[in-house]
Amino acid sequence: MAKVLLVDDDLTTLQVVSELLRQEGHEVFPFSNGNAAIAGLTAHAPDLVITDLYFDKTRAQGLEVVEKARALSPPAEVIVITGFGTIETALRATKLGAYDYLEKPFKVEELKLCVQRTLSYSAARNETVHLRRQLKKKYGFDQIVGSAPKMVEVFKMIERVANTDSTILVLGESGTGKELVARALHYNSRRQFAPFVPVNCSALPENLLESELFGHCRGAFTGAIGDKKGLFEEADGGTIFLDEVGSMSAMLQSRLLRVLQEREVRRVGENRPIYVNVRVVAASNEPLEKRIKEGSFREDLYYRLNVIAIPLPSLRERREDIPLLTAHFLKGKMAPAASQPLRITRQAMEILRRYDWPGNVRELENALERAAVLCEGGLIQAADLPPHLLAAVQDADLMPETQTAPPLPAVPDSAVYPLHPPGAPETASAAAAPGADAPIIPMKAYLQQQELAYLNRAIQQCGGNKEQAALQLGISVATLYRRLNAEEKEP
Residue 439: predicted pLDDT: 58
More confident residue, 405 or 189: 189
**Closest C-alpha to 281, from 409, 217, 188:** 188
More confident residue, 265 or 423: 265
d(Cα 38, Cα 26) in Å, to the nearest integer?
20
Taking 60 as the threshold, does the pLDDT of residue 414 lie above it? no
Range picked from 45-59, 96-110, 466-480 for highest mean pLDDT: 96-110
Average pLDDT over residues 154-161: 90
d(Cα 77, Cα 3) in Å, to the nearest integer?
11
Residue 441: predicted pLDDT: 63
3-state secondary structure of 24: coil
More confident residue, 171 or 212: 171
More confident residue, 57 or 328: 328
Taking 80 as the threshold, does the pLDDT of residue 231 lie above it? yes
Average pLDDT over residues 188-204: 89
331 secondary structure, DSSP code: I
Average pLDDT over residues 2-11: 88
**Closest C-alpha to 249, from 299, 198, 202:** 202
pLDDT band at 66 (very low <50, low <70, confident <90, very high): confident
Average pLDDT over residues 390-399: 63
Taking 70 as the threshold, does the pLDDT of residue 342 lie above it? yes
Average pLDDT over residues 178-192: 90
Residue 210: predicted pLDDT: 86
b/e per residue 324-345 (b: at least 16 CB within 10 A) = bbbbbbbbeebeeeeeeebbbb
b/e per residue 64-90 (b: at least 16 CB within 10 A) = bbbebbbeeeeebbbbbbbbebeeebb
pLDDT band at 397 (very low <50, low <70, confident <90, very high): very low
b/e per residue 299-318 (b: at least 16 CB within 10 A) = eebbebbbeeebebbbbeeb
**Closest C-alpha to 311, from 184, 177, 187, 452:** 177
Q: 282 near 168, Cβ under 8 Å?
A: yes
- Angle 76-81-83 from CA coordinates, rounded to 5°: 160
Q: Tell me how crowded residue 409 is: count the other CB atoms within 10 A of its CB.
A: 14
Q: Is the pTM above the cut of 0.85?
A: no
3-state secondary structure of 27: strand
d(Cα 170, Cα 310) in Å, to the nearest integer?
5
Cα–Cα distances (Å) from 250 to 240, 244, 246, 287, 297, in that order, read: 20, 14, 10, 17, 7
**Closest C-alpha to 138, from 427, 432, 443:** 427
Average pLDDT over residues 458-470: 78
Residue 364: predicted pLDDT: 95
